[in-house]
Chain A
Amino acid sequence: MASTDEELIALSLRGDADSFNELVLRWERPIYALAYRTIGRDEDARDICQETFLRAFRSLPAFRGQAKFSSWLYRIALNLCRDWIRRERRTAFVQLPEGAEIAELAAQIEPVESIEDLVARRDLARVIERAMARLSDDQRTAIVLKEYHGLTFQEIADVVGCPLSTVKTRLYQGLSVLRRELTTIGRVA
């Protein structure tokens, strides 16, 4: 049976580096996805993912376990994303993955998915990214954490550091903006 996050943390604190690597393998994809959906850049999202785990590793002795380990990681990653946005002084969500990756993807899935389907999927991703770009940072964070990471309202409130009602309001407002954007281009009735 796989160890829980708490067990792996305890082992890591006793000096077992493999346990922390197990935590990394378990959580790096969600953290990368969170960073990518927040800042919209593949390479920088990977850097933020790495930095998140390095910071977590250094701060692990200070982790008291009041929140879930994943919530703690999300908070670190979101803070790094905020720093990145502030540093870059530009709106996130402006770039798609590089063309080379799409070509690579096409080569990998050639027999299953046609080029037309691939283009359609890429177009859809572009449409959603553009719609997400219309949201405020707070609305986008709330939607990403709820929609793609399945956090409860309370967990989002803890990660972001705001009241529960504010989380719900941000979600409602964000979804309404997305609805308007997607209706305009005929994606939603």
Chain B
Amino acid sequence: MKATVCGYGENRSEVLVSYLYGDIAEDERTRFELHLGSCSACRSELDALADVRGQLGLWAPPEPAARPSGPAGNAGRAGVTIQSRGRFASLGERWPVWAQVAAAALFVGVAAGIANVHVSYTPEGLSVSTGWMRAPRSSNRPPDASTAAVIGQKESRPWQGDLSLLEDRLRTELREQLATEQRAALRPSGSLDQAAIERLRGLVHESERRQQSELALRLAEVTRDMQAQRQADLVKIDRSMGIIQNRTGIEVMRQQQLLNNLLRVSQKQ
């Protein structure tokens, strides 16, 4: 790069930049264009800086990948979404999982307290009841031996019948749920539906295709790097050879000078 020799003035660099970006006052532009006609240093520098700008224009940042947050289709690529002006708009994103679990457990506990839930484990099994339920108006269930004793106390504990009903209902639901789970566990694993298999195949195929592309990319990079390394090595070897040749030449010259001196001395004698 040549040194700049130009007598435009102290603010030359500022004017040059302003002209380069087309952000310059009209009178200054006219004056600088007149100067450019006679100053090769400014012309050359202007061209070079325009080239630099051209190179910068080729550099694009990567596309920001979308993040799963907020309502679908409303979030931007960087995942920024404002749902409301409330202070808890981004709570789910900011709280760690353990804190969310603890908050959920606390919520369930408080809700259970408010509903006055009673959980007890008797010889007959687990029983759950709420304290605010009223006694049923009628019941078709015949009293069995275990509840007969309780019925005697019905006047003092009017919620007892309701408790028994709830207990029965929970037992039935639990039994049904267990049966459903057993049926699901016994179902053969090969019964995945065709659509899911197709989706899996598609994913595997896509993954393989990406791996192939990546492999091709890496191979191309390796080849390119090897070629660059080879060229750099060749240049280095060439330089080394040049240095050796120069050194040899200098040595030969010294020897010749020495011989000449010896000859001159011997001729004088």
Contact = CB atoms under 8 A, between A and B. Distances in A.
A79 interface: no
B61 A37 contact: yes
B52 A29 contact: no
Contacts of B57: 147
B58 interface: yes
Given A169-B14, A178-B56, A28 B76 contact: yes
A46 B214 CA distance: 24
Given A28-B78, A115-B220, A103 B85 contact: no
B56 A36 contact: no
A9 interface: no
Given A46-B64, A175-B17, A54 B81 contact: no
A17 B84 contact: yes
A150 to B, nearest CB: 9
A33 B1 CA distance: 32
Contact of B21 (A46, A57, A146, A178): A146
A15 B85 CA distance: 7
Contact of A42 (B62, B83, B217): B62
B221 A168 contact: no
Given A179-B49, A189-B51, A124 B77 contact: no
Given A49-B64, A123-B224, 16 more contacts: A17-B85, A20-B82, A21-B82, A24-B82, A28-B78, A33-B61, A106-B213, A115-B213, A115-B217, A119-B224, A146-B21, A152-B23, A179-B48, A179-B49, A179-B52, A183-B48
13 contacts: A15-B85, A17-B83, A24-B76, A28-B76, A46-B78, A46-B79, A97-B62, A107-B210, A107-B213, A115-B217, A124-B59, A153-B18, A178-B56
